[in-house]
């Protein structure tokens, strides 16, 4: 019987990624553009749902484009696009479905189960909303794991044979947070991870730095060239791309 594939997903505010464990080694899968991360952006155009890099390229030019939906997870807020209203879970499901599809193409078999990471500060409503998004995308979400716990495990701290307290600093595109983990190594109960404290800002991250760089560029162009480029959507898109690259 062929071994079942369970994917691990980091559903991020700005970017997401999907991985598998291959012969005991975690492997991050590349998307259709050959990248290991996929922008968490969904765009609607001509009856088509576009996810990832191609959707991100339409952020400045297509009003039916949605980004940073993770910030609304677990809330009653909705977003409008494509002539209708969507819940955060529905948009997140489109991102998860895209990740699932290219993962299936990479491994060559159908995937039905996943483990998804969430910020340590996510409350029960936000965690349940993440599970619902997975279900809509056709995934049985086996576990929701705190992102700092996943980070500690990625660095092999689950293999250490001693108790320790670890600080995990998670700086993302749309958020940042700091968590303190207590890693306990009980011989009978096994390894356990407990989040002792977490704090941060879920509306501050790399995207905000990019925005400040774009603002600086706009002001410099206006001062040096006497041109206001804010009304030029293509120019603004190019400035944002340049800011991100820088």
Are residues 90 and 81 in contact, defined by beta-carbon separation less than 8 angstroms?
no
Known active-site residue 170: yes
Known active-site residue 161: no
> What's the CA dihedral at 212, 217, 219, 222 to 10 degrees?
-160
Catalytic option among 90, 170, 177, 210: 170
Nearest-angstrom CA–CA distance, 51 and 48: 10
> What's the CA dihedral at 132, 172, 84, 124 to 10 degrees?
30
Residues paired with 60 in a beta bridge: none
Known active-site residue 70: yes
**Exposure string over 98-119, b if 16+ CB within 10 A, otherwise e:** bbbbbbbebeeeebeebbbbbb
Known active-site residue 112: no
Catalytic option among 89, 90, 147, 177: 147
Cα distance between the two ends of the chain:
49
Catalytic option among 56, 70, 106, 240: 70
Nearest-angstrom CA–CA distance, 185 and 183: 7
Residues known to be catalytic: 10, 70, 147, 170
């Amino acid at each position: 019987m062929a071994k079942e594939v369970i994917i691990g997903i980091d559903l991020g505010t700005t970017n997401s990624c999907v991985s598998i464990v291959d012969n005991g080694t975690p492997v991050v899968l590349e998307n259709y553009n050959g990248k290991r991360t996929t922008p968490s952006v969904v765009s609607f155009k001509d009856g088509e749902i576009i996810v990832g890099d191609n959707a991100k390229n339409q952020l400045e030019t297509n009003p039916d484009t949605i980004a940073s939906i993770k910030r609304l997870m677990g809330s009653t807020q909705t977003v409008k696009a494509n002539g209708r209203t969507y819940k955060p879970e529905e948009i997140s499901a489109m991102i998860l479905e895209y990740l699932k599809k290219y993962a299936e193409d990479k491994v060559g078999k159908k995937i039905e189960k996943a483990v998804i990471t969430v910020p340590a500060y996510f409350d029960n409503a936000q965690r349940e909303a993440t599970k619902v998004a997975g279900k809509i995308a056709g995934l049985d979400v086996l576990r929701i794991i705190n992102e700092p716990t996943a980070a500690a495990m990625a660095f092999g701290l689950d293999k250490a044979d001693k108790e320790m307290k670890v600080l995990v600093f998670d700086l993302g595109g749309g958020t940042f947070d700091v968590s303190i983990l207590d890693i306990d190594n009980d011989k009978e109960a096994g390894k356990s991870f407990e989040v002792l404290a977490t704090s941060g800002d879920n509306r501050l991250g790399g995207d905000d730095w990019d925005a400040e760089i774009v603002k600086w560029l706009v002001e410099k162009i206006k001062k040096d060239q006497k041109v206001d480029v804010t009304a030029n959507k293509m120019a603004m898109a190019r400035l944002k791309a340049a800011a991100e690259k820088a």
